[in-house]
Amino acid sequence: MAERSRLAAWGLRLAVLALVVLVLAAIANRFGFIGYTLPIRGLALAALIGAVAVLVSLAGLVVTLGGSRAGAGAALLGILIGAVAALPVAMAASQGRSVPRIHDITTDLANPPQFDAVVILREDAPNSLDRSSPPDLAELQRKAYPDLETFIVREQPGKVYEAALETAKEMGWRIDAASPEKGLIEATATTRLMGFRDDVAIRVSERDGAAAVDLRSVSRVGISDLGANAARIRAYLAALKTKLATPAP
């Protein structure tokens, strides 16, 4: 029987280690055990170890296919697991190249919805709610996401507000404040994998006999949101439009 490839074995070990680091980083960030800095570094470390595991496993696979060593299965598994561990950072890097380095997105660049209740929740967050930085924030958003604009619907604002609140709940967001009198909703959206928290403000107002719906979505961490806030606003508005177009039972 051929001797097992050490490269294949070590590649698999490194891949498993990378996956463990990724899972621990995700758990730590989601539950807020150690802040946000270490989990982000954990993501980067998992990607690095995963990439090394893929390379080592590939080398091990070449050796096993040459017939001098056993362990092709371990090498293939190492490649798969290593790639999975490196995937989140690889995808983020790819997405980051196609979007501007901003993290505060709104449908109303002239008068974005304001936050009140979530301000205290962001006390330790590195990203502020001040839209003065970068100075060309509005222009960067306008070029990157020209489709984001106020949603106007010919309905009573009160009815639209109730639909807006219900839609926010259906999106899985935590409602931090809701004021029907002011037409304002504040919520927290949590990303699925790493549990990053972004804050959302929804404003429903009367405009020329119709209801105007504006959103603002702001990341608590990260200079670039990798397009997440714009995608969140699009998804929310699509769901709200569907709800308003569907007759009540």
Instruction: Tell me the mean pLDDT in the region 120-137.
Output: 88
CATH number for the domain that contains residue 220: 3.30.530.50
Global pTM reads 0.78
- CB-facing half-sphere around the CA of 203: CA atoms within 13 A: 19
Number of domains comprising the chain: 2
Residues 182 and 68 in one domain: no
pLDDT class of 1 with cuts at 50, 70, 90: very low
pLDDT class of 79 with cuts at 50, 70, 90: very high
1 inside domain: no
Q: Which of 96, 127, 161 is the last residue of a domain?
A: 96
Residues 125 and 183 in one domain: yes
Show the beta-strand stretches assigned E in 119-209.
151-153, 174-179, 184-190, 197-207
74 inside domain: yes
Residues 111 and 47 in one domain: no
Residues 53 and 120 in one domain: no
For tokens 């549990």, the residue is 195
Provide the domain limits for residue 60: 6-96
Residues 49 and 124 in one domain: no
Q: Which of 54-58, 66-70, 84-88, 195-199 has the lowest mean pLDDT?
A: 66-70
189/197 Cα distance (integer angstroms):
6
Is 36 strand, coil or helix? coil
Residues 217 and 117 in one domain: yes
Q: Which of 66, 96, 126 is the last residue of a domain?
A: 96
Dihedral, CA of residue 13, residue 18, residue 21 and residue 27, to nearest 10:
-120
39/29 Cα distance (integer angstroms):
6
Q: Which of 96, 115, 146 is the last residue of a domain?
A: 96
Residue 109 has pLDDT above 50, yes or no: yes
Closest CA to 226 of 80, 50, 94, 67: 94
Residues 13 and 66 in one domain: yes
Mean pLDDT over the full length of the chain: 89
57/17 Cα distance (integer angstroms):
14
Residues 109 and 90 in one domain: no
